[in-house]
Amino acid sequence: MAYTQTEKDNGIAVIWLDQPGESVNKLGVEMVDEAEALVEWLDKDPEVKALIFISKKVDNFIAGADLEAMIADRKPGVLQEMSRRGNRLLNRIESLEKPVIAAIHGAALGGGLEVALACHYRIVTESPKTMLGLPEVKLGLLPAGGGTQRLPRLVGLQKALDLMLTGKNVYPRQALEMGLVDEVTHPYALLDAAKASANKLLNTPRKRQRKKSLANLALESTSLTRGFIFKKAREMVEKTSGNKYPAPYKIIDCVEHGMDNGIAAGLEAEAAGLENLADTPQARELIGLFFGINKAKKNPLKTQPLAVETIAVLGAGLMGAGIANVSAANGLRVLLKDVNHENLAQGKKHVWQHLSRKVNKGALSAFERDEIFGRLNGVVDYNTFSHANIVIEAVFEDLNLKHRVLRECEQACDAKFIFASNTSAIPISEIAAAAERPAQVIGMHYFSPVEKMPLLEVVVTSQTADWVAATAVETGIQQGKSVIVVKDGPGFYTTRVLAPMLNEALEILEENGEVRHIDNAMKQFGFPVGPITLIDEVGIDVGAHVSKILSKLVAGRGYKSHDAMIRMFSEGYQGRKNGMGFYHYHDDANTLRGIGKKKKEVNRTAYKFFSGKTRRERHEVSEIRTRLVMMMVNEAAWCLQENIIRSPGDGDIGAVLGLGFPPFLGGPFRYIDRLTPSVALANLERLADAHGPRFQPAPIIRDFARDKKSFYR
Amino acid sequence: MPENNVLRNALLIDGIRIPFQRAGGSYKSLMAYDLARMAIQALVNATRISPNAVDWVIMGNVVPNIATSNVARDAALAAGLPKQVPAATVSLACISANKAITNAVDLVRSGQADVVIAGGTESLSDIPIGLRKPFRMRLLEAQKYRSKFSYLKFFRGLKFRDLLPEIPEIAEFSTGRTMGEDCDMMASRFGVSREAQDAYALQSHQKAAAALKNGALAKEVAPATIPPGFQVIDQDDGIREDSNREKLQALKPAFVKPYGTLTAGNSSFLTDGAAAVLIVAESVAERLNLQAKARIHSYAYSAQDPAEELLLGPAYAIPKLLDKSRTALTDIDVFEFHEAFAAQVLANLKCLASLNFARKNLGRDAAVGEIPMEKLNRWGGSLAIGHPFGATGARLVTTAANRLIQEDGELALVASCAAGAMGNAIMLERV
């Protein structure tokens, strides 16, 4: 058989999953066809007493459904039919008299976990590669292979909802604790342990120990009390993502329907739900993004990258420490340099706390944390920099300072070292101007907090050597980032696209707008933080700096950025970092604990920089959104036009992963496609009429509108 | 000098330690493992060696934490060294690091290894407080109990004191005497007065304080940062600049009461710390572009009867080494002696200077010689800086090499005593 190989050993059928031509197993029509026949045949075979599903792939059980095949030229009704078929197979497996064991090493995600859930017993390996989860929600879909039915019955309603609504991964020890799996073993013993447990199940049918507490049991046992949990879950969804995404609600519906009307009804709800969700634009954009992000985890550059063993990071602040952390955690040796040991200690503390949180979650052992920490070397001089293959500077945004550290590094490092700047706005060519070897200067723009933000923007100048770019991209991928390669210019891509949007928020303030109203309008639209809050977070000093850097660019298009940030900065406003911003900050605002705790008050004295009036008015919400989003989208189009970005795909990934552009809109270019370029053009022209040349449409939008082209389809 | 021309020269590139801290102080939440990995990481950075170039790690440790019984290996793994580097922990009481270093020298000389990290680590804040033997035996037996009634057997004959935790003390297993008691006896035997001891201890603190101030000690100390707060520890905390004769005289005897002469003031204190040195073959050092501070010239160990001469190791190891290396005490420019107790140093100096001792105990016609006090422990000693048992040897060797350079000397002699009546002497030669 093509997808499976079955061995029989003493009455146990070991079914090796091994999809031809792929590095991972994916569930598709062929796999289901084959498994259906196989299960019937093994059920009838009197020699076979028990079945084991195990994978031949390296570090993978089943990665999930074959998304590409699923989405490619989909006809109405196909998905729900597939779900029904899959569920028939899984029901059949579940109802077998013979014990069925899932022996899992590596990822068992989505449909992969659902197969395991239909088995009678689950063994997983104690390995960081082993993770279980139902991530469908992240694609705007729902688990449609019985996940919404079997998971809550196995681990309890609350845990199950948490897993399905966040799509997060569960690691072996957590999985055992919550009762998701029955046994944990080491990778080399997996098959033997599965056989042993098959024999055990043959002799004594397993009584599953309830992992749920009595209180939860009581809470989940009646329709009435369950209703309370569902209500809470819906409130939670509404609070975290508003009504932007239909998938979480559908998932809750399926679970509730199944709980109240039985598994069969629940499975039917799943199938219908999948069909329904797959038609939503949210799912379409999220799936498109998903493919784009995966692509950004492969190096698109053809040149051979240099082997990187050691990277040096200049500056142990939040950025520097974050870069050091993701590097050390991914096997690189790190030299973290700062001017004194006190600064270094703060950087190390940041890394330690981040790693320790992972230890507490069970995602890392204490020794693994120590090993990572052991790769992190705090230094106060350049003595060891001769080992560094790449130096990433995360010092203050000051060109002279950057020139100085660049020259110091050129003194200390090997001739083949790469100097990367983590600047968010200073053009790399200006930094490279001071270099002895400008071909080895590049931008590596990370986003804060580095551990959490998945994007790396690699910025190449006209002088940057190909091997330098390839090495920077490869390093970013090793650090776990999705990487886009952009051309050098003021603000590169991300900062350049963000700045006009923030500027537009200031323009609305100038028109007497209200700070919190603007923030809320954009948050409800789907941005993780409002634009004004973002200015405070990034820093008004940084904002002032960026607007200076972009001034020439916008002047070329006949307008001037709002100068409020420059004036505010000169009067001492720096945003959250010094407690002087558009909002008031409490004492604990600068600690992790303080974030999001209290609702912060608007600092009304900041209004004096905008029209001066203290009575503010609320602009139409849709008007605020259109103005801000069109600003961003238009600038993205300018960037594509000027070849700052290589493709609309890179532009979308950059905006979603780096700037929090609402993922369900897919990014600026998917958004234009969704509006259609002619509607986008009409919007821009209307706004340009009303507000001036800053809304002047990028020519590429005009061309696409005229030619009825779209960026993707 | 290598004894035959096949052997290679072993160079000391550099040594580094984390600040030594009183037990129960800044490092109290850490294990010897944590201290060792900080020292190893600091050494790698100070010497600029690539972790990939390291062939071996050998660390001394005296009071082990059973969770890290080969602490050198666990520390090396978590200090950023490649997993392929073998590591061993050696235990030889207070000369454990000396043994680690001379093992490294042997590996390098014989061509077994090119680059070796050697040193030691000790946490006396993390000592194994255990259950007493009768209780432990019963616990192990209880695993075999079949019926509930067997547990009645458990308490039969068990005394209340068997249930108390057992805190290890620094006592000689063969004699049952603590080291302080032994040294107090030795002070009486060799006529080392309380005044002489206090005066010696005082100058140890004063010299250490001066070396701290003028930056001499800073060269061999790398700051440590301690999770979770990550406060920066950048100085030894045992050096008492404000100590004086009156304060020392006022202290009560610590070991032999009431007439003993050893006090907390003239004895080394319980210390946490770790230190490491880099030993490299001469030919390899050139290739790796490593600048050496000294060559390991020669070394010797001695052992006597623990009941009689527990702390006289140097008085035996030094003449042995001088004979072996065909040098005289007068050829030596720098002396670095371990100071377990002021009385121990002074007794050893007396023996070395004594014709009688030379004739009776060493079979020599002349005394080994007087050691000029101005050449001895110029940057202070264990009395002031502290004595993490497993690590002190690496501190002594590092300081000796640094002093050779600073004082423009040719030869340095490191000597230490150890429990079990053992002694060690190492000679360094300026390169």
Answer yes or no: do A469 and A500 share one domain: no
Is A583 a domain residue?
yes
pLDDT in tens, A164-195: 999 999 999 889 999 999 999 999 999 999 99
- Which A residues in the span 362-391 are in contact with B, Cβ-Cβ below 8 Å? 367, 370-371, 373-379, 383-384, 386-387
H/E stretch holding A310 = strand A310-314
State how far the Cα of A453 lies from the Cα of A469, in Å rounded to an integer. 21
Q: Tell whether A252 and A361 lie within a shared domain.
A: no
Give the residues of chain B that fall short of pLDDT 50.
Answer: 1-4
pLDDT score at B3: 45
Is residue A332 within 8 A of residue A496, CB to CB? The reply is no
CATH of the domain at B25: 3.40.47.10
Q: If contacts are CB pairs under 8 Å, which of residues 180-209 in chain B contact chain A?
A: none
**Would the pLDDT of A216 be above 80?**
no
Query: Does B146 reside within a domain?
Result: no
Report whether pLDDT(A592) > 90.
no
B157 in a structural domain: no
Which of B83, B230, B289, B290 would you mutate first to test chain A, the one with the most A CBs within 10 A?
Answer: B230
Single out the catalytic residue among B417, B418, B427, B428: B417
List pLDDT tens digits, range A284-338. Answer: 899 989 988 888 888 888 889 999 999 999 999 999 999 999 999 999 999 999 9
Chain A to chain B Cβ contacts (< 8 Å): 57
In a domain, A315, yes or no: yes
pLDDT at B2: 42
Instruction: Calculate the average pLDDT of chain A.
Output: 92
Task: Kindly state whether residue B156 falls inside one of the protein's structural domains.
Answer: no
| pLDDT given for residue B133 in this prediction | 86
Measured between CA atoms, the residue of chain B closest to residue A376 is B80
Choose the closest CB to A377 out of B45, B228, B231.
Answer: B45
By C-alpha distance, the chain B residue nearest A377 is B41
Does A410 score more than 50 pLDDT? yes
Q: Is the residue at B134 inside a domain?
A: no
Q: What percent of chain A has pLDDT over 70?
A: 97
Res A209: pLDDT: 59
In a domain, B232, yes or no: no
Give the angle A277-A262-A238 at the CA atoms, nearest 5°.
40
**Residue A275 counted as domain residue:** yes
Q: Is the pLDDT of residue A227 over 70?
A: yes
Torsion of the alpha carbons at B328, B329, B332 and B337, rounded to the nearest 10: 140
Range of lowest pLDDT (A51-65, A198-212, A269-283, A649-663): A198-212
5-44 of A, contacting B, C-beta below 8 A: none
Q: Please report whether residue A293 resides in a domain.
A: no
Domain finish residue from A447, A479, A511: A479
- DSSP-assigned beta bridge partners for residue B337: B415
**DSSP code per residue over A227-293:** HHHHHHHHHHHHHHHTTS-SHHHHHHHHHHHHHHH-HHHHHHHHHHHHHHHHTSHHHHHHHHHHHHH
Q: Distance between CA A312 and CA A328 in Å, rounded? A: 11
Q: Which residues of B touch A333 (CB under 8 A)?
A: 51, 80
The answer as to whether B360 is a domain residue is yes
B258 touches chain A (CB under 8 A): no
**Mean per-residue pLDDT for A433-460?**
97
Looking at the structure, tell me whether residues A453 and A545 fall in a common domain: no
B230–A375: do the CB atoms touch at under 8 Å? Answer: no
Considering the domain boundaries, does residue A432 fall inside one? yes
Residue predicted with more confidence, A648 or A588: A648
Structural domain includes residue A346: yes
B236, B354 contact by CB (below 8 A): no
Distance from CA of B287 to the nearest CA of A (A): 15
User: Which of A345, A370, A387 comes nearest B225 by C-beta?
Assistant: A345
Tell me how long chain B is.
431
CATH classification at residue A421? 3.40.50.720
- Determine the distance in angstroms separating the CA of A331 from the nearest CA of chain B, rounded to an integer: 10
Residues 47-66 of B with CB under 8 A from A: 48, 50-51
Confidence of residue A598 (pLDDT cuts 50, 70, 90): low
Asked whether the beta carbons of B117 and B82 are under 8 A apart, the reply is no
pLDDT at position B149 is 79
Distance CA B63, CA A710 (A): 73
What does each C-alpha distance from B383 to A65, A184, B63, B342, B380 come to in angstroms? 70, 53, 20, 7, 8
- Please check whether residues A533 and A680 belong to one and the same domain: yes
Number of domain units in chain B: 1
Do residues A70 and A217 both lie within one domain? yes
Containing domain of residue B413, as a range?
A: 10-126+268-430
What local confidence, expressed as pLDDT, does residue B52 receive?
A: 96
Q: Is residue B196 part of a domain?
A: no
C-alpha separations of A145 from A91, A286, A658, B72 in Å: 10, 20, 33, 51
ipTM of the complex: 0.91
In chain B, which residues have their Cβ closer than 8 Å to the Cβ of A327? none
DSSP B292-307: PSEEEEEEEEEE--TT
CA B258 vs. chain centroid, Å, equals 30
Asked whether residue A197 falls in the same domain as residue A321, the answer is no
Q: What is the 3-state secondary structure (H, E, C) of A580-620?
A: ECCECCCHHHHCHHHCCCCCCCECHHHHHHCCCCCCCCCCC
A30 a catalytic residue: no
Contacts of B78 in chain A (CB under 8 A): 367, 370-371, 373-374
Angle made by CA atoms B363, B367, B369, in degrees to the nearest 5: 140
CB contact under 8 A, A345 and B232: yes
Give the distance from residue B68's alpha carbon to the nearest chain A alpha carbon, in angstroms. Answer: 12
- Chain A environment of B68 (Cβ under 8 Å): none
Q: What average pLDDT does the segment A84-100 reach? A: 95
Note whether A470 and A507 are same-domain residues. Answer: no
Option in B80, B223, B228 nearest A333 (CB) = B80
Q: Please state whether beta strands B334-337 and B224-226 pair in parallel, antiparallel, or not at all (unpaired).
A: unpaired
Interface test with A, best of B232, B278, B291 (most A CBs within 10 A): B232
Of the candidates A114, A410, A457, A474, the residue annotated as catalytic is: A457
Q: Is residue A298 part of a domain?
A: no
What does the pLDDT read at residue B300?
98
Structure tokens at B338: 């371990």
**A209 or A298, greater pLDDT:** A298
Residue A206 in this model has a pLDDT that exceeds 70: no
User: Inter-chain contact A356–B228, Cβ cutoff 8 Å?
Assistant: yes
Pick from A375, A384, A386: which is nearest to B45 by CB?
A384
What DSSP designation does A657 have? I
Residue from the list B50, B228, B230 with its beta carbon closest to the beta carbon of A387: B50
Based on the domain organization, do A98 and A185 belong to the same domain? yes
Q: Which residues of B301-323 are buried (b: 16+ CB within 10 A; e: fewer)?
A: bbebebeebbbbbbbbbbbbbbe
**How near does any CA of chain A get to the CA of B231, in Å?**
7
Residue A588: is its pLDDT beyond 90? Answer: no
In a domain, B410, yes or no: yes
HEC profile for B203-270?
HHHHHHHHHHHCCCHHHHECCEEECCCCEEECCCCCCCCCCCHHHHHHCCECCCCCCCCCECCCECCE
**Contacts with B79 from chain A: Cβ below 8 Å:** 374
State the pLDDT confidence band at A210, using cuts at 50, 70 and 90. low
A355/A218: higher pLDDT: A355
Q: What is the pLDDT of residues A39-87, one digit of tens each?
A: 999 999 999 999 999 999 999 999 998 887 777 767 888 899 999 999 9
**Cα dihedral: B34, B38, B41, B42 (round 10):** -170
Q: What six digits make up the tokens of B282?
A: 């001469």
| For testing contact with chain A, the best of B34, B45, B48, B50 (most A CBs within 10 A) | B45
Do A466 and A576 reside in the same domain of the chain?
no
Which amino acid is present at B415? A
**CA distance linking residue A104 with residue A125, whole number of Å:** 6
Bridge partner list, A53 = A15, A102
Cross-chain Cβ contact A352/B37 below 8 Å: no
Q: What is the pTM of this model?
A: 0.90
pLDDT at A587: 59
The residue range of the domain holding A272 is 4-279
Is A488 within the bounds of a domain?
no
Secondary structure class of B104 (helix, strand, coil):
helix
B106 backbone dihedrals φ, ψ, rounded to 5°: -60, -45
Residues of A in contact with B223 (CB under 8 A): 341
Residues of A in contact with B46 (CB under 8 A): 383
Taking CA–CA distances from A328, the nearest residue in chain B reads: B80
Give me the pLDDT at residue A392, please.
Answer: 98
For residue A74, the domain's CATH number is 3.90.226.10
Whether residue A536 is found in the same domain as residue A633: yes
Residue A73: predicted pLDDT: 65
Strand segments, DSSP code E, in B71-136 are 87-90, 115-122
* A434, A522: one domain: no
Tally of structural domains, chain A: 3
> Same domain for A271 and A322?
no
Kindly list the residues from chain A whose CB atom is less than 8 angstroms away from the CB atom of residue B41.
374, 377
Nearest to A341 among B41, B78, B234 (CB): B234
